[in-house]
Structure 1
């Protein structure tokens, strides 16, 4: 009989899944987390669950928060099962499930006053976030964008915030007024220098209404950088059904993920932190080398296989990697253009790291999808692909493969695959990108007009030439033939 997940049914769930060996009701909160999505529940929440299972850190439980309608839907699903989550870890050779319980509440988006008051609670010593790459109000160079309408509105009305950053400022202001030590603000998103980026957005927004408060934040609030990694696809009915059929657990929103996980952090937590080093988190003086390695090689790799996969009507990531042209394209691009300009990483062989990435991408059990990788390219391309392009150009090196990645992204936004299948976009800038991509069929430069995406790369003569030739070849020869030309070193127009 299927077990409906709840605190009352944990003993029954233990028949097929790991369950906490601590009492979730005994936990007290220490962290507020914005963005209770799949990645957070497969990553930060799992590390905390591991720690709580050792008998330590029980005053570091999570309270979730959010500002979007989807956050309310997630709250309703998790509240109905006492905020428990079933995490299904899938390796090539094994699959296992565990129920995690580090979250004890989620504050609904319409409870902003409750949230601000909780942010001011001295027990809350860390505020963390997974709000996606597009949630930080930054431009292509990673600089805070004060002209964004959401920032303009919160800047004018700091007492009635609508964004994550406006709410954080409201909580910090209350703590300052009450003489409470500020919490540490910890980004868990895939952004280069995510701590610095978060600090710039928080302080930039504060300056818009209270420069003195902004200076206080600069002097008193910590923003540690971190690198996070675990492939975690979206949850659909497929995952819910697998959990019921294979583990007899009925979970409103389970999380499926790979077995591998990694978290590298700077140890900068003036208000204290849980002892996460005891459960595998690496605390290092400088996260930047690890972060750049992961963003360029793994996230850049995802972007590399996403668009040829879409154009060739491939749905799953492992199927894309099983396509000989796509897998060879990824390997050639990584080994010839991306990895050679990644700076050394302590105790890490970059070629072996890429071999690990290939194995992870090939995992058929994850069920990760090409449409998920292809979404939100207007935020991901400037962070995962174009920095490698920029750095190679600065060093006087060619960018044939990287230009092809950008051209594939443009061809994707024309709206149909090579077979004529209509592509469904998930990107805040989809309308303007599609209009430009259609124009670019005849005038490739029409797609390079977005400074917030391409930055100075768009003005480089070599990039413009390589991009134009790759795009014209995609249109005239199709994706498979274009990939083959690249692999044969024939995708070059001198």
Structure 2
């Protein structure tokens, strides 16, 4: 059954669907970046809220700034803004159709339609999922980089910007001129201190062309921090077949694990939907939840990814079924990561670690190792290098984390340990391959990528440890080196 408003009542009985009148919804949120994670997370929470009969003026207006976003908009609007979400519990699968989106803003160069949409007084929140690498962060300083070519282009042409941040600035400027209160900017990306990072990108870009406006944004616009969590694999033939097994014709189905979590600061001067009624946690301790999740879950993904990728393992649950990889992950988490995580309200870190191991082991998710290996250039500094830095600052050992970084270097050589070619798997793949091959004879070259490691290449002890570890991986193979680590 093709998804549309007209076919909602004709869907199979075992497929949940909106119980609210979708025609009565009105948009209160513009969301930029309507990929799988957004539709399995924020859109599901809003759908739950609307099913309670409340918050119907907080519907989503989808948006984007890239060509791929335009394609997603076409697909979704051909289905009246709806998509199917299939939860993959190890014991059972369930499907639902979500209907929280009312429309999609046309994607255009210069972003005039998006700026106009965000200038509408009815829009009180602008939210984003533009990936971890989309915030123009200088890895050496950990702050906004004003020299990026995309930022420089927007600074030179602020009235027709091509980035999401440039469009947000233009819309805030228009609202200010019209006497309309600013919207709240809500980051939903998996980035440490994501509200602060988003504010720095918006204010930093505005500063380049209109310092007075930048000051006004900094003083008047809210950027709440949040932590988001749900494992959501990429959509491929398997996922489309799952949708078909429920009797659904969906060009953009989403599969995900049953678990989801959303923790936010309650900083919404223009108002917000009452998401606490559907399980969202509002707290002043977002940073504690965020550190826990990024170090244990995302760091855990990075730890297993390259060990499994080098062994030609395809899926995360297969990696966790390997006794050595599971023990390797467990040891690093227990001995190197958990001890440097600050206490989290009402949370036992050992219990959380076990939850993560169980989630990774879910065979129904079929989360691809290749997906977990993707974009290490942007992910490693956030998920692994931060823990290395913390342990070095406390004069603590980090053997397992250094090994994880060495395995990433070995993976980026472009072949697995059976000699199979690894297809390009990073926006900076050519550079990573070249640097990895240089590191075969001079391992310090890998640590000299300052965008990733900052000044760690100046730490002689770390360089010596990394050199020994990487040389060992090349000489004896990852399994032998991991076996020594576990001893």
TM-score above 0.5: yes
How far apart, in 2, do the equivalents of 1:282 and 1:341 lie?
A: 24
Whether 1:83 and 2:91 are equivalent positions in the alignment is: no
State the shift of 1:14 in Å: 4.3
State the shift of 1:134 in Å: 0.3
Whether 1:184 and 2:149 are equivalent positions in the alignment is: no
Whether 1:202 and 2:194 are equivalent positions in the alignment is: no
> 1:29-76 deviations in whole A, cap 9, x for unaligned?
000001100000000000000000000000000011111111111111
Query: Which residue is 2:224 aligned to?
Result: 224
Query: Which residue is 1:438 aligned to?
Result: 437
Query: Which residue is 1:482 aligned to?
Result: 481
Match of 1:109 among 96, 107, 110: 107
The TM-score normalised by the length of structure 1 is 0.97
User: Contact 2:106/2:113 (CA < 8 Å) preserved in 1?
Assistant: no
User: Contact 1:31/1:127 (CA < 8 Å) preserved in 2?
Assistant: yes
How far apart, in 1, do the equivalents of 2:423 and 2:204 lie?
A: 35
User: Contact 1:316/1:369 (CA < 8 Å) preserved in 2?
Assistant: yes
How far apart, in 1, do the equivalents of 2:90 and 2:456 lie?
A: 39
Query: Which residue is 1:149 aligned to?
Result: 149
User: Contact 1:188/1:226 (CA < 8 Å) preserved in 2?
Assistant: yes
> 1:125-154 deviations in whole A, cap 9, x for unaligned?
000001011000002243000010000110
User: Contact 2:61/2:103 (CA < 8 Å) preserved in 1?
Assistant: yes
State the shift of 1:337 in Å: 0.4
User: Contact 2:112/2:160 (CA < 8 Å) preserved in 1?
Assistant: no
Moved more, 286-295 or 105-114: 105-114
Query: Which residue is 2:42 aligned to?
Result: 44
Query: Which residue is 1:68 aligned to?
Result: 66
> 1:372-406 deviations in whole A, cap 9, x for unaligned?
00001111000000000000000001111110011
How far apart, in 2, do the equivalents of 1:466 and 1:106 lie?
A: 51
How far apart, in 2, do the equivalents of 1:403 and 1:382 lie?
A: 13
How far apart, in 1, do the equivalents of 2:462 and 2:344 lie?
A: 28
Q: Secondary structure at the match of 2:333?
A: helix
Whether 1:305 and 2:308 are equivalent positions in the alignment is: no
How far apart, in 1, do the equivalents of 2:286 and 2:183 lie?
A: 21
User: Contact 1:139/1:453 (CA < 8 Å) preserved in 2?
Assistant: no
How far apart, in 1, do the equivalents of 2:118 and 2:461 lie?
A: 50
User: Contact 2:288/2:342 (CA < 8 Å) preserved in 1?
Assistant: yes
For structure 1, list consecutive stretches of 5 or more residues without a partner in the other structure.
489-494
> 1:425-479 deviations in whole A, cap 9, x for unaligned?
3322111111000110111011112111101223212221221111111111111
User: Contact 2:61/2:104 (CA < 8 Å) preserved in 1?
Assistant: yes
User: Contact 2:444/2:467 (CA < 8 Å) preserved in 1?
Assistant: yes
Number of positions where the alignment pairs a residue of Structure 1 with one of Structure 2: 485
Moved more, 371-380 or 14-23: 14-23
How far apart, in 2, do the equivalents of 1:242 and 1:411 lie?
A: 35
> 1:59-97 deviations in whole A, cap 9, x for unaligned?
000011111111111111111111101000111112100
Alignment map for 1:116-135 (pairs within 5 Å)? 116-135=115-134
The TM-score normalised by the length of structure 2 is 0.98
User: Contact 2:128/2:189 (CA < 8 Å) preserved in 1?
Assistant: yes
User: Contact 2:12/2:247 (CA < 8 Å) preserved in 1?
Assistant: no
How far apart, in 2, do the equivalents of 1:446 and 1:318 lie?
A: 33
How far apart, in 1, do the equivalents of 2:342 and 2:456 lie?
A: 21
Query: Which residue is 2:255 aligned to?
Result: 256
How far apart, in 2, do the equivalents of 1:114 and 1:411 lie?
A: 45
User: Contact 1:192/1:295 (CA < 8 Å) preserved in 2?
Assistant: yes
State the shift of 1:286 in Å: 2.4
How far apart, in 2, do the equivalents of 1:25 and 1:468 lie?
A: 62
How far apart, in 1, do the equivalents of 2:316 and 2:457 lie?
A: 29
User: Contact 1:17/1:99 (CA < 8 Å) preserved in 2?
Assistant: yes
User: Contact 1:49/1:101 (CA < 8 Å) preserved in 2?
Assistant: yes
State the shift of 1:173 in Å: 0.6
Superposition CA RMSD, Å? 0.9
How far apart, in 1, do the equivalents of 2:370 and 2:104 lie?
A: 29
Alignment map for 1:264-413 (pairs within 5 Å)? 264-413=263-412
How far apart, in 2, do the equivalents of 1:404 and 1:208 lie?
A: 41
User: Contact 1:304/1:405 (CA < 8 Å) preserved in 2?
Assistant: yes
Q: Secondary structure at the match of 1:363?
A: coil
Moved more, 174-183 or 103-112: 103-112
State the shift of 1:7 in Å: 1.1
Q: Secondary structure at the match of 1:337?
A: helix
